[in-house]
Amino acid sequence: MKKLALVVVLALIAAAFWWQHKQQAAPTHGKAALVRVVTRPVAMQLLSDEIEALGTTQAFESVTITASVSDKIEEVLFHDNQQVKAGDLLVTLQHQEEQAALDAAEVDLKEQQREYRRITDLVKKKTIAASELDRLQSAVDLAKANVAKSQAQLNDRFIRAPFDGRLGFRQVSTGALVSPGTAITTLDDVSPIKLDFTVPERFLPILSPGKDIHASSEAVPDRRFQGKVASIDTRIDPVSRSATVRAELDNQDGSLRPGMLLRVRLVKEARRALAVPAAALFQLKDQHFVFVVDKDHKVSQRAVQTGLRLPGLVEVVAGLKEGEHVVIRGLLKVRDGATVEEKQEDYPGAKA
């Protein structure tokens, strides 16, 4: 009987402990049922519609130096990468025959001019008819034309720089036979230098000749190049809906060369508008939604209309008011009408 009574007492004690534990655990279990989420107040942010365009540099003036006639090279007067001025002599072709033809034409011109002066005196004395003077004037004009022709043929044998710039590699040697189209060297004027880049059509209203731009290059990472828009293509690409813009950049020191890749940053507008983190949005079919938490910590699903998108940030055009809290973490754990425990924190991309 004593053993039975002991068992009963132990059973009652165990039951009491179990009931007390259940009573203490009940509120803890109810508290754990709350879903914890991270929220962020909807706030006015400084938004700017901007784009980073990629462009390719081109020489302001560029030409491949060639001969206009076929002949042998008599002398090469330049070296690789030489800086030259307009009119500097680069290559001389053999020109003895052309020089002789010019000398003969000049002698003939002098002879015709002497004859013209002699006949002019005779016409004044009325010894010879005035019509003879007209014939000699034609002969003088023809002799002048022959001199000009011979001079042009001789000039073709002297190849000169057409403008200021820097030469490329020499492609010929003394004694080589060149003909029209034979590349002798290249000549580029890169001060200033052109930059061609494409932009979406929505940026065209902010681009006009004379607008300042800034560009950067990985080849010169510690420098920003300044320039101005020179012209805009008159046509829009129907596939990409973009236009080509040509700018001119200052390049007095020659840091930029033709063919380099540059980045151009364009800002269309900067304005203050309501915005939320991109993490707050979720999409159902073709509509965007957010979870809004009210002052009683109740969640409601709300449709919103979005606008400009930036890295980590989305403009809200309609559907939210400033100061309302939206869930940015824990979206998969909450449902419309649920009660949540919220925590606030900043997010990347927020701008005051």
Give me the pLDDT at residue 81, please: 92
Burial 172-203, CB ≥16 within 10 A → b, else e: beeeeebeeebebbbbbbbbbbbbebebeeeb
The per-residue pLDDT for 159 is 96
pLDDT at 83: 93
pLDDT in tens, the chain (352 residues): 555 555 554 555 555 555 555 554 444 444 445 777 788 888 888 776 677 889 999 999 999 999 999 999 999 999 999 999 999 999 999 999 999 999 999 999 999 898 888 888 777 777 666 677 778 888 899 999 999 999 999 999 999 999 999 999 999 999 999 999 899 999 999 988 999 999 888 888 878 888 888 898 888 888 888 888 999 999 998 998 899 999 999 888 888 999 999 998 876 666 787 888 877 778 888 888 888 888 878 888 888 888 777 777 778 888 788 888 888 877 777 777 777 777 766 544 444 3
Query: Rounded to the nearest 10 degrees, what angle do helices 96-124 and 130-155 cross at?
Result: 160
345 Cα distance to chain centroid = 38
The CA-CA-CA angle for residues 248, 253, 256, to 5°, reads 55
Tell me the C-alpha distance between 224 and 264, whole Å: 10
* Distance, CA of 91 to CA of 78 (rounded, Å): 8
Model pLDDT, residue 27: 47
Q: Which CATH number fits domain 35-47+272-344: 3.90.79.10, 2.60.120.10, 2.40.420.20, 1.10.10.10?
A: 2.40.420.20
| Per-residue confidence (pLDDT) for residue 115, from 0 to 100 | 86
Query: Taking Cα atoms as reference points, which of 233, 256, 248, 215 lies closest to residue 60?
Result: 248
Tell which residue, 154, 144, 151, has the closest CA to residue 109: 144
pLDDT at residue 135 in the model: 83
DSSP β-ladder status, 325-329 and 287-293: antiparallel
Number of helices (H), then strands (E), belonging to the chain: the values are 3, 19
Retrieve residue 57's tokens.
Answer: 């540099």
The domain segmentation of the chain, as residue ranges, is 35-47+272-344, 51-59+189-270, 95-156
How far is residue 65's CA from residue 63's CA, in Å, rounded to a whole number?
6
* Residue 187 confidence (pLDDT): 95
What's the CA gap between 312 and 47, in Å, rounded?
A: 12
Q: Are 227 and 213 in contact (CB under 8 A)?
A: yes
Distance CA 89, CA 160 (A): 4
Task: Please give the CATH superfamily to which domain 51-59+189-270 belongs.
Answer: Efflux pump adaptor protein, beta barrel domain (2.40.30.170)
For domain 95-156, the question of CATH label 1.10.287 is answered with: yes
3-state SS, residue 174: coil
Residue 122 DSSP symbol: H
